[in-house]
Each structure stands twice: as structure tokens, then as C-alpha cells.
Amino acid sequence: MTEIIHKELSDIVIDTAIYVQRELGIGFLEKIYENSLKIALIEKQKKIEVSFHNQNVGDYFADLVVND
């Protein structure tokens, strides 16, 4: 079995996702759930600069960011 990195934080995210799904129910588009998770947890569409050998090689936009 694979060891889960940051288990406590992973449990919080999973529990929150389940809470959001139970509150909203099923059938919505992914964006509705993403927006709800944002309210419940975190930042959304955060820009992350990607570097290689100390040089910026582009930007990545994470859908959701938890605990920086």
C-alpha cells in the first residue's frame, strides 16, 4: 500500500469535498463544486511560477491550493 504524504491535510480536503457534495447534492458541473470548495477551504486558480535551474520557464495555474 502506498503511504499518503501529508495525511492529515489530505483527510481535511477529502472530508471537505464530501461535505460539499452532501450539501449540494449530485448533478452540478465541476465548476460549482470547485467554487464551493474554494469557499470552504482555499485559494483557487493560483498562479505558480515554475522554475528550472533557477530560471522561470512558465506559469502553472493550480485549480485549488491547500495550505500553500
- Tell me the HSE value of 9 on the side-chain side, using a 13 A CA sphere: 9
In a domain, 30, yes or no: yes
In a domain, 20, yes or no: yes
Separation between Cα atoms, residue 39 and residue 24, nearest integer Å: 13
Q: What is the pLDDT of residue 44?
A: 63
Domain count, the chain: 1
Give how far Cα 6 sits from Cα of 9, 26, 47, Å. Answer: 5, 28, 22
In a domain, 2, yes or no: no
In tens, the pLDDT along 18-35 reads: 999 999 999 999 999 989
Q: Which residue in this structure is represented by grid cell 458541473? A: 29
In a domain, 24, yes or no: yes
Residue numbers in the chain where pLDDT is lower than 50: none
Separation between Cα atoms, residue 7 and residue 11, nearest integer Å: 6
Q: What is the CA radius of gyration of the chain?
A: 15
Q: What is the pLDDT of residue 9?
A: 83
Q: What is the domain range of residue 41?
A: 7-65
In a domain, 21, yes or no: yes
In a domain, 31, yes or no: yes
